[in-house]
Amino acid sequence: MARVSKEERKSGIISAALKLFSQKGFYVTTIPDIAEKVGMSVGNFYNYFTSKDLLAKELVLYISQYLGDKIRAINESDDSSEIKIQKIVTMYFDMATEKPEMIEYFLRVYLSNREVFGEGCEGMTCVSPFITEMMIFFSDGVESGELHNQDFFSAFGLFMGYLGGMVFLFGEKILPDPLEEYKESISLNIYNALKTR
What is the maximum alpha-carbon separation in the chain?
61
- Closer of 40 and 135 to other proteins (Cβ): 135
Should residue 81 be labelled a site residue for other proteins when binding is judged by CB under 8 A?
Answer: no
DSSP per-residue letters across 137-188:
HHHHHHHTT-B----HHHHHIIIIIHHHHHHHHHHTT--SS-GGGGHHHHHH
Q: What whole-number distance in Å separates Cα of residue 117 and Cα of residue 111? A: 9
Considering only 112, 150, 192, 196, the residue that binds other proteins (CB under 8 A) is 150
CA dihedral 129, 130, 132, 136 (to 10 degrees): 130
Stretch that binds other proteins, among 11-19, 27-35, 111-119, 138-146 (CB under 8 A): 138-146
Should residue 155 be labelled a site residue for other proteins when binding is judged by CB under 8 A?
Answer: yes
Considering only 136, 158, 160, 193, the residue that binds other proteins (CB under 8 A) is 136
Phi, psi of 195 (to 5 degrees): -70, 160
Total chain residues near other proteins (CB under 8 A): 22
Q: What whole-number distance in Å separates Cα of residue 193 and Cα of residue 190? A: 5
Minimum separation from the CB atom of position 109 to other proteins (A): 20
Minimum separation from the CB atom of position 128 to other proteins (A): 5
Considering only 50, 77, 152, 165, the residue that binds other proteins (CB under 8 A) is 152
Minimum separation from the CB atom of position 64 to other proteins (A): 11
Q: Collapsing DSSP states into helix, strand and coil, what is residue 195?
A: strand
Q: What whole-number distance in Å separates Cα of residue 59 and Cα of residue 37? A: 17
Task: Please give the residue ranges that form the binding site for other proteins (CB under 8 A).
Answer: 122-125, 128-129, 131-132, 135-136, 138-139, 141-143, 147, 149-153, 155
